[in-house]
Amino acid sequence: MTLSNRRRTLAGATLIAALAAGVAPTATTAYAAPAVPTAVRTTPAPAPDMEGVSAALKAAMAEGAPGAMARFTGPDGVRARTEGVRDRTTGAAMDIHARFRIGSVSKTFTSVVLLQLVDEGRVELDAPVNRYLPGLLPDARITVRHLLTHRSGLADYTDAMFEHTVPGFEAVRNRVFSYQELVDLSLAEPRTTEPGVSYRYSNTNFVVVGMLIEKVTGKPVADAYQRRVIGPLKLRHTSYVHPDTRIAGLRVRGYLHPDEEGQPLVDSTEQTVSWAQSAGAVISDPADLNTFMTALMRGRLLSPRTLEAMTTVTPTDTTDTRFYGLGLRRYDLSCGTQVYGHTGTVQGYYTYAFSTRDGRRALSSVANTSNHGSANTALGGTLEAAFCGKKPTTTTPTPGRRTTSLLPAEPDLAERR
Distances (CA, A) of 397 to 333, 336, 363, 389: 21, 19, 31, 20
From residue 58, alpha-carbon distances to 81, 97, 104, 151 in Å are 10, 19, 23, 36
- Please, what is the minimum distance in Å from the beta carbon of residue 297 to ligand REY? 21
Q: Assess contact for 60 and 373: CB atoms under 8 A.
A: no
Cα separations in angstroms, 114 against 1, 130, 232, 307:
33, 16, 16, 12
Question: Which CB, 54 or 382, lies closer to ligand REY?
Answer: 382
DSSP classification of residue 227: I
What would you report as the CA-atom Rg of the chain, rounded to the nearest whole angstrom?
21
Nearest to 233 by CA among 402, 37, 393, 4: 4
For residue 284, which of 339, 247, 322 has the smallest C-alpha distance?
247
Interface residues with ligand REY (CB under 6 A) are 103-104, 158, 162, 165, 168, 203, 256, 276, 279-280, 344-347, 370-371, 417
Q: Can you point out the beta strands (E) in 260-328?
A: 266-267, 283-284, 314-315, 322-324
Taking the least distance from each CB to ligand REY, the nearer of 51 and 159 is 159
Minimum distance of ligand REY from residue 231's CB (angstroms): 24
Rounded Cα gap, residues 282 and 222, in angstroms: 9
User: Catalytic site residue 4?
Assistant: no
Q: Least Å distance between CB 144 and ligand REY?
A: 19
Q: Which is nearer to ligand REY, 73 or 370 (CB)?
A: 370
User: Of 276 and 302, which CB lies nearer to ligand REY in the complex structure?
Assistant: 276
In whole angstroms, the minimum distance from the beta carbon of 90 to ligand REY comes to 23
Which residue, 210 or 280, is less far from ligand REY as judged by CB? 280
Q: How far apart are CA 277 and CA 182, in angstroms?
A: 10
Which one, of 72, 7, 122, lies nearest residue 290 by Cα? 72
In this complex, which beta carbon is closest to ligand REY, that of residue 167 or of residue 231? 167
- 170, 140 in Cβ contact below 8 A? no
Comparing CA positions, the residue from 279, 288, 258, 259 lying closest to residue 100 is 288
Output 31 or 275, the one with its CB closest to ligand REY.
275
Contacts of 382 (CB under 8 A, 6+ apart): 53, 56, 57, 70, 352, 363, 365
Question: In angstroms, what CA-CA distances link 279 with 36, 140, 207?
Answer: 30, 22, 6
Kindly state the smallest distance separating residue 158's Cβ from ligand REY, in Å: 4
Phi, psi of 90 (to 5 degrees): -85, -20
Residue 59: CB minimum distance to ligand REY, A: 18
Q: In the bound complex, what is the minimum distance in angstroms from residue 279's beta carbon to ligand REY?
A: 5
CA–CA gap between residue 8 and residue 36 (Å, rounded)? 14
Q: How far from chain centre, in Å, is Cα 274?
A: 18
Nearest to 93 by CA among 84, 101, 102: 84
Between residues 169 and 387, which has the closer beta carbon with respect to ligand REY?
A: 169
* Active-site choice (4, 54, 104, 355): 104
Q: How far is the CB of 366 from ligand REY (least distance, A)?
A: 12
Residues marked active site are found at 104
